[in-house]
């Protein structure tokens, strides 16, 4: 039982995080301060929301790279609408509008994938360019810094404040609760609903899922619509925390999100992945992106490290699966 636990991907990622934290903390003790921990949690908010959507796509056997474009499209469009028609509206209204815009864009992905049975990577590569291009050339390409007051107020919120040794104040932003809420919702969906079973079945074998009675088209519409919804929420969260709407932001961060999900144990071939593993993957990526500089690793090398980890994270499970298959074949022959 203990050996099985140690072999689980989540356990390996957790041990890696612990080892990395100890190493960084020894080299630079600032890493273990409350302010550093709160900064890491804040940095994981948007990445975590995106990762929950990508987890569902990868579990279903697909790949989505358009979610960042959907996020920034939803953010920028919502800010433009609010400034034009309701500058004093509440922040929850902004999140609802951004989520609905994201939902609509996600359903466009679902239409092409479900109706024409096109490869998910090809479709989302196309819509990534289409959504971002439409944003830049039709809706606007200037940075909006005078965002509605509700977004500024949201950025200043704090769950609680902690006095640091240097005399400053470390604040934990309540947006972390949004990420946790999304994670719980996805966990309940995948673990306790028939729809969640259908998502796993679709990733395991589409033909088998169809024979089992799952409506593949409806599942795909839900998956990409839900990812669009989460992307719109993540985009609005990012813009609110940054207190601006920059049409060039977020797009290009797909690698970090996919890396987090893959590191958490989700297989790119589909049928496998957990929320706990994804959370651990997000934590590992955030620590590497935000803390490697504390031990003298240049920021330009961080993408190299992320790429290597993706190769290792996807390569090791494949090698282990091949060895298990060979051992099973050997036992069968014996």
Residue pair 47/257 in contact by the 8 Å Cβ criterion = yes
DSSP 248: T
At residue 233, does pLDDT exceed 50?
yes
Distance CA 178, CA 187 (A): 14
What CA–CA distance (Å, rounded) separates 57 from 55?
Answer: 5
Name the token pair of 111: 């239409």
Asked if residues 276 and 270 have their Cβ atoms less than 8 Å apart, the reply is no
| Count of Cβ atoms closer than 10 Å to residue 273 Cβ | 27
- Residue 27 in tokens: 């080299």
Convert the pLDDT of each residue in 156-165 to its tens digit: 998 888 877 7
pLDDT digits (tens, 9 = 90+) for 19-47: 888 988 888 888 888 888 888 999 999 99
Written as six digits, the tokens of 297 are 């690793």
- Listed by start position, the domains of the chain span 2-302
Structure tokens of 225?
Answer: 């619509």
CA-atom Rg of the chain in angstroms: 21
C-alpha triplet 132, 173, 179: angle, nearest 5°: 55
More confident residue, 191 or 12: 191
User: Mean pLDDT across the stretch 54-66?
Assistant: 95
d(CA 25, CA 22): 5
Scanning the structure block, which residue is given the tokens 């609408």? 81
So what's the pLDDT on residue 1? 46
Confidence grade of residue 4 (pLDDT, cut at 50, 70, 90)? low
Predicted model pTM = 0.92
Q: Using the structure block, give the residue that is written with the tokens 């400034």.
A: 83
Tallying the residues shown for the chain, one arrives at 334
CA angle 229/219/257 to nearest 5° reads 45
Q: Which residues contact 175 (CB under 8 A, 6 or more apart)?
A: 42, 45, 154, 157, 237, 240, 241
Dist CA 296 CA 327 (whole Å): 44
* Distance (Å, whole) CA 55 – CA 191: 13
269 confidence band (pLDDT: 50, 70, 90):
confident
Beta strands in 114-203 (DSSP E): 160-163, 169-172
Interval 106-122: pLDDT, tens: 999 999 999 999 999 99
6 pLDDT exceeds 60?
no
Token duo for residue 280: 């651990």
Rounded mean pLDDT, 43-64: 95
Q: What proportion of the chain, given as a percentage, has pLDDT over 70? A: 92
E runs forming strands in 233-274 = none
Query: Which among 229, 230, 222 is positioned nearest to 110, based on CA atoms?
Result: 222
Per DSSP, the three-state class of 163 is strand
* Parallel/antiparallel/unpaired status of strands 160-163 and 169-172: antiparallel
Average pLDDT over residues 254-275: 88
Mean pLDDT across the chain:
88
Q: What is the mean pLDDT of residues 241-251?
A: 92
Q: Which tens digits make up the pLDDT trace of 170-222?
A: 788 899 999 999 999 999 999 999 999 999 999 988 999 999 999 999 999 99
Looking from the CA of 36 toward its CB, the CA atoms found within 13 Å total 18
Mean pLDDT in residue range 238-245: 94
How high is the pLDDT of residue 24? 86
CATH number of 2-302: 1.10.3470
Rounded Cα distance, 127 and 133, in Å: 9
Contact of 31 with 292, CB cutoff 8 Å: no
Cα first-last separation, the chain: 26
Residue keyed to tokens 């959507």 = 53
């Amino acid at each position: 039982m203990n050996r099985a636990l140690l072999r689980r991907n989540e356990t390996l990622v957790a041990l890696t995080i612990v080892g990395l934290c100890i190493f960084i903390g020894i080299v630079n003790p600032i890493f273990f301060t409350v302010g550093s921990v709160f900064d890491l949690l804040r940095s994981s908010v948007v990445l975590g929301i995106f990762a929950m959507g990508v987890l569902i796509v990868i579990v279903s056997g697909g790949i989505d790279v358009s979610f960042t474009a959907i996020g920034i499209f939803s953010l920028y469009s919502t800010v433009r609408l609010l400034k034009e028609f309701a500058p004093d509206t509440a922040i929850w209204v902004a999140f609802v509008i951004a989520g609905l815009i994201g939902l609509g864009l996600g359903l466009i992905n679902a239409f092409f994938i479900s109706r024409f049975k096109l490869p998910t990577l090809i479709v989302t590569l196309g819509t990534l360019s289409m959504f971002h291009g439409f944003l830049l050339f039709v809706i606007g390409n200037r940075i909006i810094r005078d965002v509605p007051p509700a977004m500024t107020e949201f950025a200043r919120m704090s769950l609680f404040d902690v006095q640091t040794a240097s005399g400053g104040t470390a604040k934990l932003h309540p947006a972390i609760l949004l990420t946790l809420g999304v994670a719980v919702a996805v966990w309940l969906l995948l673990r306790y609903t028939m729809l969640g079973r259908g998502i796993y079945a679709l990733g395991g074998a589409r033909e088998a899922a169809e024979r089992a009675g799952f409506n593949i088209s409806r599942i795909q519409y839900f998956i990409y619509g839900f990812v669009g919804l989460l992307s719109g929420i993540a985009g609005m969260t990012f813009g609110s925390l940054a207190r601006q709407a920059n049409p060039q932001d977020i797009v290009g961060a797909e690698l970090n999100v996919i890396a987090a999900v893959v590191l958490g144990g989700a297989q790119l071939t589909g049928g496998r992945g957990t929320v706990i593993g994804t959370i651990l993957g997000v934590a590992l990526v955030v620590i590497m992106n935000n803390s490697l500089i504390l031990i003298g690793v240049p920021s330009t090398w961080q993408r190299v490290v992320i790429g290597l980890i993706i190769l290792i994270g996807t390569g090791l499970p494949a090698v282990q699966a091949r060895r298990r298959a060979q051992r099973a074949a050997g036992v069968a022959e014996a």
